[in-house]
Structure 1
Amino acid sequence: MCRYYVYILASKRNGTLYTGVTNNLLRRVEQHKKHEFDGFTAEYEVTMLVWYQVYSDIKSAIAMEKRIKRWRRKWKLQMIDSFNPDWRDLSAPLVDEG
């Protein structure tokens, strides 16, 4: 069964945010950390995985990504705070599970 992930990266606590969707969360976060993508995430050092959600179908994942991108910043910060109150980089546990 395929899994799809909607994720939010941050530059630091309450810093710059980036929302994306992928079918391989660990690989995508590593690509952001290594600046394999020119543009926003590389320019603003948005490399810390602070929130993610798993979906079983791509249409639902894309719909959620679009929904989050329309949200006010305050709502995004509240969602991150409730999921990850310490704003830890959640990619480290993913590597350990690997």
Structure 2
Amino acid sequence: MYVYILTNPTKTVLYIGTTNDITRRLYEHGSSRGDAGKFTGRYQADLLVYFELFPDATQAIAREKQLKGWTRLKKDTLIAAFNPEWQVIDLETWLG
């Protein structure tokens, strides 16, 4: 299971989610771009800048809830420690 953070092109919005198939989920987020009925579509938050891998859903969901409770500054610091330039993560490169 993955916990992931997406941002928009101007890095003003963060979206935190969980999934068991991150490739599929990123595709779904990208497909909803411009869809005002969905958070990621409305704010164009479909750029992966952070992720963590967990052995089971319980741990991933607990981590997602923890991150959602953090301040924006704390989330920014976490992302910067993992991905200092906030580059969009190419999963093929990262996951091999």
| Partners of 1:13 and 1:87 within 8 A in 2 | no
Equivalent residue, structure 2, for 1:16: 13
SS at match of 2:24: helix
Query: Aligned pair in 2 of structure 1 residues 30, 95: CA closer, same or farther (>3 Å)?
Result: farther
User: Do structure 1's residue 79 and structure 2's residue 85 form an aligned pair?
Assistant: no
Give the AA of the match of 2:7. Answer: A
**Quick one: distance in 1 between partners of 2:74 and 2:9?**
17
Equivalent residue, structure 2, for 1:66: 65
Normalised TM-score (structure 1): 0.86
Between 7-16 and 60-69, the greater mean CA deviation after superposition:
7-16
Q: Measure how far apart 1:15 and its partner are.
A: 1.6
Q: Measure how far apart 1:61 and its partner are.
A: 0.2
Q: Percent identity?
A: 38
Q: Measure how far apart 1:12 and its partner are.
A: 3.0
**Quick one: distance in 1 between partners of 2:81 and 2:67?**
15
Q: Measure how far apart 1:13 and its partner are.
A: 5.3
Cα deviations by residue, 1:31-79 (Å, 9 ceiling, x for unpaired): 1011187411000000100000000011000000000000001000000
Which runs of 5 or more structure 2 residues have no equivalent in the other structure? none
